[in-house]
Amino acid sequence: MTQLLVKLFVKDYTSTEKSKVRTAYGVLTSIVGIICNIILFGIKLVIGLIINSISVMADAFNNLSDAASSIIGLVGVKLAERPADKEHPFGHGRFEYIAAFAVSFLILQVGFTCFKSAFTKILHPEEVGFNWILVGILCISVLIKLWLSLFNRTLGKRINSNVMKATATDALGDVLITTTTIVSVIIGQLTGFMVDGWMGVIVSVFVILAGINIARETLEPLLGEAVDREVYEAITKKVEEYEGIIGSHDLIVHNYGPSHTMATIHAEVPNDVNLEEAHETIDRIERDVLREMGIFLVIHMDPIEINDQKVVEKKEVVIQVVKDLEPKSNIHDFRVVNGENHINLIFDLVVPFSYNEQQEQELLLKIEEALRKIDERYQIVITIENSYIAE
């Protein structure tokens, strides 16, 4: 069914790197979500009124909020498609995150309302009507929501959409919620114990948690999250595969929407390389990364000594000392300045984010002490940095 809908409503559906294709995917999932959730809302509201179940009606209004969420998502996707302009030179891709953040507030509002109603039902329990046909209809709604979850997750992975993945998680939460509702109705019928209010509380907690998770997932890229390790490895591998590039470091990725990404990286080149040739290589890498990965990459060249064997040996010694003291650390921009009575070893040290200022200073002292034991002429000049990669 998923692939059939994609083929029918998304033109050129294999070209997911194109903005228009990505938007078409977003529109498709939003419209499918709106239709399915409105149908489910109507069915569950009628069932809830017939059997006098607060948990079923709470579940119904949760579906209505999901329909509203899909509408907001649709608007967000369309706004995110707008091209860059003079006020927004990086495009409008973050509208998708803003829309998802608004959706999270709708979900939270429904969750808290349901919690209030369910708590009232606990204090003043009422008998819940029972009908196997109605239970069967609720089971069908579980299957529909399960398909919606798989539908959004599949397409979300295909176009790398955090919003669609969050919607998939929300739909899976609805599967658990409706299943809980069915269980409460059956328990009430078999035991006579009115668990509807308690189940309503469980329903509302699931809804609230879903809202919080969606808010958190959409806020992170807006605030500026660390680069995912898979993205980091893909970019660095691509940069370092070109002839003349020795290594790379200080990769920073800026997200202006799921399909609008900028990045900067320091590429290490031999210090005796012809500048025009190195610049040509850098330009070619930037063009290739944009074409193949859809990332606007800016590369800074760092000259590295590779011919002076004494400098290379000193660098290897420093790397080993740092790894022995803190395996999660690494160095870059290593330089040696020789003097008459001392040798300056100058480099940047990347330490884990978990380090506080005291731990940083302690590590610096240990590195300096270890290197001075190797050669007392060493003078250590270290610049502390943190990694931009998600740990």
pLDDT (tens digit per residue) in 181-212: 777 777 777 776 777 678 778 878 877 887 88
Are the folds of 226-305 and 308-391 the same? Answer: yes
Terminus-to-terminus CA distance in the chain, angstroms?
38
Give the model's pLDDT for residue 267.
94
The helix/strand/coil state of 124 is coil
pLDDT band of 126, cuts 50, 70, 90: low
pLDDT band of 128, cuts 50, 70, 90: low
Give the model's pLDDT for residue 129.
59
Which tens digit of pLDDT belongs to each residue from 259-308?
A: 788 999 999 999 888 989 999 999 999 999 998 888 899 999 998 888 88
pLDDT above 90: residue 83: no
Give the model's pLDDT for residue 93.
81
Q: Which residue has the higher pLDDT, 1 or 196?
A: 1
Q: How many CB atoms lie within 10 A of CB 172?
A: 18
pLDDT above 70: residue 127: no
pLDDT band of 370, cuts 50, 70, 90: very high
The mean per-residue pLDDT over the stretch 155-162 comes to 80
| Average model confidence (pLDDT) across the chain | 84
pLDDT above 80: residue 51: no
What gap in Å lies between CA 92 and CA 99, rounded to an integer? 12
Give the model's pLDDT for residue 209.
84
Q: Which of 229, 126, 143 is nearest to 178 (CA)?
A: 143
Q: Which CATH number fits domain 2-223: 2.60.40.1120, 1.20.1510.10, 1.20.810.10, 3.40.50.300?
A: 1.20.1510.10
Q: Name the DSSP class of 337.
A: E
Residue 187 tokens, joined: 């328990």
**Residue 311 and residue 305 in contact, taking contact as beta carbons nearer than 8 Å:** yes
- Tokens 């489910």 sit on residue: 40
The answer to whether the predicted template modeling score (pTM) of the entire model surpasses 0.75 is no
Give me the residue spans of the domains in the chain: 2-223, 226-305, 308-391
pLDDT above 90: residue 107: no
> What percent of the chain shows pLDDT beyond 70?
96
The mean per-residue pLDDT over the stretch 356-362 comes to 91
Q: Residue 168: exposed, middle, or buried by beta-carbon count in 10 A (0-12, 13-18, 19+)?
A: buried
Q: Which of 254, 266, 285, 261 is nearest to 348 (CA)?
A: 266
Give the model's pLDDT for residue 282.
95
Fold topology of 308-391: Alpha-Beta Plaits (3.30.70)
Instruction: Please name the residue ranges forming H helices in the chain.
Output: 2-9, 19-51, 54-80, 95-123, 132-159, 162-191, 196-223, 229-240, 275-293, 309-325, 357-374
Give the model's pLDDT for residue 92.
83
Give the model's pLDDT for residue 131.
67
**Residue 157 and residue 14 in contact, taking contact as beta carbons nearer than 8 Å:** no
Residue 56 tokens, joined: 């079923």
Give the model's pLDDT for residue 371.
93
pLDDT above 80: residue 106: no
pLDDT above 90: residue 109: no
pLDDT band of 46, cuts 50, 70, 90: confident
Q: Which residue has the higher pLDDT, 381 or 192?
A: 381
pLDDT above 90: residue 3: no
The mean per-residue pLDDT over the stretch 132-156 comes to 85
The mean per-residue pLDDT over the stretch 306-311 comes to 88
Give the model's pLDDT for residue 391.
65
Give the model's pLDDT for residue 49.
83
**Residue 110 and residue 83 in contact, taking contact as beta carbons nearer than 8 Å:** no
Question: Looking at the domain that runs over 226-305, which CATH code has it been given?
Answer: 3.30.70.1350
In degrees, rounded to 5, the angle at the alpha carbon of residue 193 between the alpha carbons of residues 190 and 198 is 120
What gap in Å lies between CA 389 and CA 382, rounded to an integer? 21
What gap in Å lies between CA 319 and CA 230, rounded to an integer? 24
